[in-house]
Amino acid sequence: CWPVYTLFIAAFIPNVVYFSLGDLSLISLQGIVLFAMSSIGAVIAVPVAWFLKRVCFKGDVAPFVMELPGYKWPSSRNVIYRVYSRGKSFVVKAGTLIFATSILIWAAGYFPGNHSEQFALQQQIETVDATVEKVEGQLEVAKGETSEQVESLEVQLKNLESTQSLLYERQNLVSSQLIENSYLGKAGHLIEPVVKPLGWDWKIGVGVIASFPAREVIISTLGTIYSLGGDVGEDDEGLIGSIRVATWPDGRKVFNVPVAISIMVFFALCAQCAATLMVMRRETNSWVWPVVSFTYMTTLAYLGALLSYQVGMMLI
């Protein structure tokens, strides 16, 4: 969750410092929010465990007595073997399912769509990138030559970099349009009425769906949707600026502090981690508990995000 927290805290939570030592900020509003988001899971776990104990797992706990042998240091051979055995088991069983899930999410974001322009742009970008590197090398060599030759190469390099920038912008725009028209984008539009009470638009919905394999995927998904490319990070100024100025069709800002809080609360409570669910499936040898866990945690996350957004909007 840290990339999600980093993005939205940096974008919408003011960096108000309450206590510092010199240039070192010890207590700040951003730090308090980060600590709260990191702690909310543990806080919510207590009443959830109490509820499950009282409602779903009623009855006395059977006593468990086991005689333990004397403790001994394990041999290095046994440790290495156990690590290898459990690691192999995870990769073969859970890893296969995680990989399959990731492929499905990728396919949903790729199909349907005509990607010919995207491929053509990529070829042009590769050609221009290679030419830029070549001219930069020539410029380094020519610095000891005549000033006219250096100026000519500098002008050529400037024109190439301008073309390079335009190609990247066009590629990002095409990628954004493709993902909006993909099955994943259509799913985002489909669930927009459901997530709108949380203050989310379809783009956030797409990010949440795409992040099922791992929460961090929402960052690259939002980068693609906002025509910045899928290789952006949580501290990317372009992405932070894009979500700050994003608007609804009527001109209202999509993102504000309550929306940012609702997104962070959702990701703090949801089960957006395919690895965890697949390990649960492997350990229980059943799909029942993974489905139950995903359902109740997603519901809990939705209610937490709904409460955060609605209360936040009342306070601003």
Arithmetic mean of pLDDT, 236-263: 88
276, part of any domain: no
Degrees to nearest 5, angle at CA 72 with 68 and 74: 115
Q: Can you give the pLDDT at residue 276?
A: 81
d(CA 232, CA 224): 9
293, part of any domain: no
Number of domains in the chain: 1
Q: Can you give the pLDDT at residue 256?
A: 92
Average pLDDT, the chain: 84
Q: Can you give the pLDDT at residue 263?
A: 93
189, part of any domain: yes
The owner of tokens 């990989």 is 99
pLDDT tens track for 155-209: 888 888 899 889 888 887 888 788 888 888 888 889 889 999 999 988 888 888 8
11, part of any domain: no
More confident residue, 8 or 274: 8
264, part of any domain: no
51, part of any domain: no
Taking each helix axis from N to C end, the angle separating 202-210 and 95-110, rounded to the nearest 10 degrees, works out to 150
CA 192, 3, 41, 277 torsion-angle sign = positive
More confident residue, 93 or 192: 192
pLDDT tens track for 65-81: 777 777 888 888 989 99
d(CA 209, CA 213): 9
Cβ–Cβ under 8 Å, residues 58 and 286: no
Q: Can you give the pLDDT at residue 94?
A: 64
Token pair belonging to 9: 């805290």
Please list, in sequence order, all residues whose beta carbon lies within 8 angstroms of the beta carbon of residue 9, skipping any fewer than 6 positions away. Answer: 30, 33, 34, 260, 264
DSSP type of residue 196: G
Query: Range of 151's domain?
Result: 77-245
Quick check: 122 pLDDT over 70? Answer: yes
Quick check: 145 pLDDT over 70? Answer: no
Residues 172-203 as b or e (16 or more Cβ within 10 Å = b): bebbbbbbbebebbebbeebbeebeebbbbbb
Q: Can you give the pLDDT at residue 198?
A: 93
d(CA 199, CA 204): 9
Rounded to 5 degrees, φ, ψ at 286 are: -160, 155
301, part of any domain: no
Quick check: 105 pLDDT over 90? Answer: no
Token pair belonging to 59: 């009855």
162, part of any domain: yes
